[in-house]
Structure 1
Amino acid sequence: MLLHLLRHGQSTWNLERRLQGQTMDVPLTPLGVAQAEGARDALAHRRLMAVLSSDQVRALDTATVVATGQGLRVEPEPRLREVGLGALEGLRYDELVAEETPPGMDVSEVRWGGGESMADVAARLRPLLADLAGRFGVDDEVLVVSHGDTLKVLITLLDGGTHRDIDWDAWSTWPNGHIETRGWLGR
């Protein structure tokens, strides 16, 4: 199957450089809407079987623009939510205080701000991938709309890795509205 992985359009908190995490109601900016429209246009020639999206507003609104262009409905999927950042959500990047990774732990296993770790995100994405493999065939195309860190974990899993294998440098600059397409055999 072909998975088209789309990071949501720019949100007001992206613009303000705030950590969003699982904050549910952060809307798109006008640029974010334009990015969603750009994704719709880029995928117009594809025959999507389904559009799955995080149930957070910024992702749902992005997905709705694309799905409407395909005559499809968005399927809200809570397992595609952004990593939960606990007490850090809503802080601006310039308000963050550097913390060291605890001894003996991989950075992907730390629950920053009392939220989720990347290992937790991977644990909720694995069953989602199993569901997709059972539902869609090799020739099907599916759009997945999610968030930067969640998509980093998802791509790592699709490539056969674990949360410890995330290439932070490769995916650190994945811009809002960017689409990454991956062929996946469902294994």
Structure 2
Amino acid sequence: MKLTFIRHGQTDLNKDSCIQGGGIDQPLNETGIKQATGAASHFNPEKYDLVFSSPLQRAKKTAEIFVKGKKKINFDERIKEMDFGEWDTLKVNDLIKKYPKGFNQAGYVTNGYLRYAPSGESFEDVARRGSEFIDELISKYPDKNILVVCHGTLIKTLVAHYFSNGNLEVFEQVENCAISEFEMTEKLSKVIRYNQILY
């Protein structure tokens, strides 16, 4: 199976460097729409057999821009963004100052954040639901070319799950509207490209 991930375009929370998880349903802002439109101009949706999207509107709108009305979009709750609980919508820099043990040296959230946002998901929770979705695709559609439009932390967590034994430090954060491609089977997986910006 060939699997392509695209992260949604920018929202106002992205612009303001705020936490934006699965419990927050923000639309794309003007920049996000331009990013998606620009990236989609280099993109042929007709080469994909199936298209899936997170049901959150920032991913849904991005998917609609990319497929240009040429493919049906299937929605799945398992590919929503990680839920950051009480931290959602808060500014990252403020959280780093107040809760440094919730971040790594690069300024990315770690599981340590759960002591301050107990209703949030762990990275293991996200990997579990996301890999259940991916494993189902591999089983059902081993010879298909599949597009998945979703979220940055979800994509990074899944790539770490399949390619670095869950080590999130190996992969950089995914940019808005960046594309990542993989070949995946039940026995072997290969990275074709990761976090490539098309616009």
TM class by smaller structure:
0.7 to 0.9
* Structure 2 CA distance for aligned equivalents of residues 53 and 42 of structure 1: 19
The residue that corresponds to 1:143 in the other structure is 147
The residue that corresponds to 2:99 in the other structure is 98
TM-score by length of 2: 0.80
The residue that corresponds to 1:182 in the other structure is 182
* Structure 1 CA distance for aligned equivalents of residues 126 and 72 of structure 2: 25
Deviations 1:162-187 (A, max 9, x none): 33x2235x313x21010011111244
- The equivalent position to 2:165 in structure 1, one of 162, 165, 179, is 162
Instruction: Go from structure 1 to structure 2 and tell me whether the alpha carbon gap of 1:157 and 1:42 turns closer, same or farther (over 3 Å shift).
Output: farther
| Equivalent residues of 2:24, 2:88 under 8 A apart | no
Whether 1:130 aligns to 2:131 is no
Number of equivalent positions: 176
Q: Which portions of structure 1, spanning 4 or more consecutive aligned residues, are displaced by more than 3 angstroms?
A: 107-110
* Structure 1 CA distance for aligned equivalents of residues 141 and 181 of structure 2: 16
Percentage of identical aligned residues:
27
- Root-mean-square deviation (CA, aligned residues, Å) is 2.0
* Structure 2 CA distance for aligned equivalents of residues 86 and 57 of structure 1: 19
The residue that corresponds to 1:32 in the other structure is 32
Match of 2:101, SS state, is coil
* Structure 2 CA distance for aligned equivalents of residues 109 and 59 of structure 1: 27
* Structure 2 CA distance for aligned equivalents of residues 11 and 85 of structure 1: 17
Deviations 1:37-91 (A, max 9, x none): 233223217610111111111111101111235x112111111111111100111
TM-score by length of 1: 0.84
